[in-house]
Structure 1
Amino acid sequence: MEFILASQSPARLGVLRTAGIDPVVRVSGVDEDAVADAVVDPTPERVVAALAEAKARTVVAVRDNAVVVGCDSMLHFDGELVGKPKSADVARARWAKLVGGTGELLTGHAVLRVVDGQVVDTAVGVQTTTVRFGSPSEAEIDAYIASGEPLEVAGAFTLDGLGGWFVEGIDGDPSSVIGISLPLTRRLLAAVGVSVTQLWRSTR
């Protein structure tokens, strides 16, 4: 059975590989803004869930036997739901607010079961983890932004990269903050009739 990851995130790929799965990577290329704008009653949970499902459905192709997993992460902070900054100016403005604060990192997950090229079952869920930010100096923030890392990650920070230096702690699932919740993904796989142990690479 193929495990298809509808994401170009190296962090998500790394989490899965460390956990015994070698997924086939297919980048969705969805218009995230358009998907988010189309969500009815756009609560943070509904937005990230809709984005995750859109990504998964975009990469479904003619597959005999597969599961397709899509994910999307955003940071809910100070009443605002934010994704990737994309520019140094936006990242700097974001970190000016994050310093010493607390936010919620939400990661939407969608698992599609594909048989003979058709989606036969779907399970969607959201994992929310509280993130407590430290108080880096302006020089440290400048250096972090200059690294380029925060520009392409949800909320302008990472837990498993350079951004980890500026996170005081989390309450919840660390794998979800990195990009894909292993416990939630296991439950969603089970909901579509797939045991995660079926997907582990052979160690023999």
Structure 2
Amino acid sequence: MSSGESDVTGADRRYEVILGSASPARLAVLRHAGLDPRVVVADVDEDHLLETMAAETPGDAVTRLAQAKADSVIATLLAERVDHAASTDVQTLPDLVVLTCDSMLLYRGTLTGKPHSAQVAIEQWKRVRGDEAQLLTGHCVAHIRGLDVVGRSAESASTVVRFASVDDDEIEAYVSTGEPLEVAGAFTLDGRGGWFIAGIEGDPSSVIGIGLPTVRHLLRRLDIPVTSLWSPTSSA
């Protein structure tokens, strides 16, 4: 497939989906939705980048973080293809569709990400229990053909999360499992944290880590039908 074959439609092209995240929850969401992505983890210092975005809106900040992850993954993928260029016509390789995300919790005007420590997680839960906050997830989709990035699109999704009125013992027991330490907002919807979420308003897949409706929308902007990415070998 050469770059000159403009008559090839999105539905007829061969694609390989790349998930630029080490999150098992994001991988599970995509697999259950019919995709079988290869994981290529982005090398990005999220905390440092966030410090440089203090003047940006929360939605713009998470979107920029997702774009930075995409930049890192794209660099890795293009380097792989350059290494094989001597023995392989890269134009015959499948197109690559790169999906990256970044999630943070917006509570009373403050963005919080992964707590990293038990003490921070406990403090976050004590602030939000019995209240609600917005889970913001930035998404970026990039399309690589051969050695070129032929398209990319990004935006954020917002979902309201209502936290149950959990007591101190429940918070400490939850945090002691280690589950909330490396997830945005110190909670999960699809794990033990689901016991302590009273409800959500919006897309549940976005709260888990990657919003399927948002990704489909971004793919449509790039003229890639999501159905062309479905894999018969996925666990859907």
TM-score normalized by structure 2?
A: 0.84
**Among residues 177, 182, 185, which one is paired with 1:152 in the alignment?**
182
**Among residues 190, 197, 206, which one is paired with 1:167 in the alignment?**
197
1:91-126 per-position Cα deviation (integer Å, ceiling 9, x unaligned): 011111011010000000000110112211111011
1:23 matched residue in structure 2? 37
1:188 maps to 2:218: yes
1:58 maps to 2:72: yes
Report how far residue 194 of structure 1 moved: 0.7
Q: Which structure 1 segments of 5+ residues have no match?
A: none
2:122 matched residue in structure 1? 92
1:129 matched residue in structure 2? 159
Between 126-135 and 39-48, the greater mean CA deviation after superposition: 39-48
In the aligned structure 1, how far is the partner of 2:47 from the partner of 2:198? 31
In the aligned structure 2, how far is the partner of 1:142 from the partner of 1:36? 28
1:201 maps to 2:231: yes
2:136 matched residue in structure 1? 106
Report how far residue 39 of structure 1 moved: 3.0
**Among residues 48, 51, 57, which one is paired with 1:43 in the alignment?**
57
TM-score normalized by structure 1?
A: 0.96
Report how far residue 29 of structure 1 moved: 2.1
Q: Which structure 2 segments of 5+ residues have no match?
A: 1-14, 82-92
In the aligned structure 1, how far is the partner of 2:36 from the partner of 2:146? 21
The one-letter code matched in structure 1 to 2:136 is L
Determine which structure has greater relative contact order: mean sequence separation of CA pairs < 8 Å that are 6+ residues apart, divided by chain length: 2
1:82 matched residue in structure 2? 112
1:34 maps to 2:64: no
1:41-60 per-position Cα deviation (integer Å, ceiling 9, x unaligned): 31100110001011111011
CA contact 1:36–1:50 (8 Å) conserved in 2? no
Report how far residue 40 of structure 1 moved: 7.1
Q: Kindly name which structure, 1 or 2, has the bigger radius of gyration based on alpha carbons.
A: 2
In the aligned structure 2, how far is the partner of 1:140 from the partner of 1:162? 11
- How many residues get paired? 203
